[in-house]
């Protein structure tokens, strides 16, 4: 494993005020994620995993502690600075895909590059390359309603990859998919990981988490356990299921 640290969290807290009650969603998280790790972030409802995901994705800032990404302290950045970090450093994959319904697959994948300042020709070329990586080159002119759930998630993955981010953050990436399609998407994430990408998967599904090389479990706003998965599942283990489904 590479020694380069992508994510470094030091005594991270996130408190919310609900009336007169202070809810301690995160209560002193200290951990790090290295380059090219494939990590599953798990925990029951109320454990703090959604709050931690929002912090990792620079969608929120902590109440206390430090969050460093590639050595830069992002925990005290303002909204504009956080938006720039999100665009350049983080690729998001959502359970609900979050695609623009009236735009084609190609246009959806091009979108993050507009904010990154690429010209139209560069945007098109990079978006086509990203769609080729997820095996959707033949669907680039289709709109989301013309694609299956699995194909829509592939478009979302291509969009996450297009700016070559430091971190890919996948929030329940198989939550809206059937079993066969879930395996296919996990196989694609495995390929992306092998290509050198750092991926954090937020999931409540144990069988999805078992694909990760490391599993961090939260409970009551703290890290309950942080373990190496010595025998991660691979999509090849389910080849017979995929063949039968075809």
Residue 115 has pLDDT above 50, yes or no: yes
Residue 15 lies in a domain: no
Structural domain boundaries enclosing 122 = 37-62+78-245
d(CA 133, CA 36): 18
pLDDT on residue 19 = 93
Q: Does residue 237 or residue 12 have the better pLDDT? A: 12
Residue 22 lies in a domain: no
Give bridge partners of residue 10 from the DSSP assignment: 66
Residue 237 has pLDDT above 90, yes or no: no
Residue 67 has pLDDT above 50, yes or no: yes
- Confidence label for 25 from pLDDT (cuts 50, 70 and 90): very high
232: Cα separation from own chain's centroid:
18
Category of 218 on φ-ψ map: left (φ > 0), alpha (ψ -120 to 50) or beta:
beta
Find the helix or strand (DSSP H, E) in which 133 lies.
helix 120-133
Residue 240 has pLDDT above 70, yes or no: no
Mean pLDDT of 10-29: 95
Of 1-10, 173-182, 216-225, 229-238, which one has max mean pLDDT?
216-225
Residue 132 lies in a domain: yes
Q: How many domains would you assign to the chain?
A: 1
Please report, for residues 40, 189, 211, the alpha-carbon distance to residue 208 in angstroms, rounded to integers and kept in the order given: 8, 11, 6
HSE on the CB side for 132, CA within 13 Å?
6
Find the helix or strand (DSSP H, E) in which 42 lies.
strand 38-42
Burial of 6 (0-12, 13-18, 19+ CB in 10 A): buried
Q: Any idea what the CATH number is for the domain that residue 177 is in?
A: 3.40.50.300
pTM of the entire structure?
A: 0.89
pLDDT on residue 239 = 55
Mean pLDDT of the chain: 91
Residue 16 lies in a domain: no
Residue 186 lies in a domain: yes
Summarised one tens digit per residue, pLDDT across range 147-193 is 999 999 999 999 999 988 999 999 999 988 888 888 889 999 999 99
Of 27-41, 88-102, 114-128, which one has max mean pLDDT?
27-41
């Amino acid at each position: 494993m590479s020694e380069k640290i992508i994510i470094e969290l030091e005594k991270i807290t996130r408190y919310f005020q609900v009336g007169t009650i202070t809810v301690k969603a995160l209560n002193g998280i200290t951990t790090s994620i290295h380059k090219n790790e494939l990590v599953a972030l798990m925990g029951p409802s109320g454990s703090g995993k959604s709050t931690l995901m929002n912090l990792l994705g620079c969608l929120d800032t902590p109440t206390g502690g430090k969050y460093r990404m590639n050595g830069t302290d992002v925990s005290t950045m303002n909204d504009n600075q956080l938006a720039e970090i999100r665009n350049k450093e983080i690729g998001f994959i959502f359970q609900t895909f979050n695609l623009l319904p009236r735009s084609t697959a190609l246009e959806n994948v091009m979108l993050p590059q507009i904010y990154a300042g690429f010209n139209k020709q560069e945007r098109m070329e990079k978006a086509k390359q990203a769609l080729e990586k997820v095996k959707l080159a033949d669907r680039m002119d289709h709109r989301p309603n013309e694609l299956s759930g699995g194909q829509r998630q592939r478009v979302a993955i291509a969009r996450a990859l297009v700016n070559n981010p430091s971190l890919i953050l996948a929030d329940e990436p198989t939550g809206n998919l059937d079993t066969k399609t879930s395996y296919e998407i996990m196989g694609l994430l495995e390929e992306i990981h092998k290509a050198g990408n750092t991926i954090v998967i937020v999931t409540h599904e144990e069988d999805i988490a078992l694909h990760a090389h490391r599993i961090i479990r939260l409970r009551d706003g703290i890290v309950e356990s942080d373990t190496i998965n010595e025998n991660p599942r691979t999509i090849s283990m389910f080849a017979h299921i995929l063949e039968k489904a075809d």
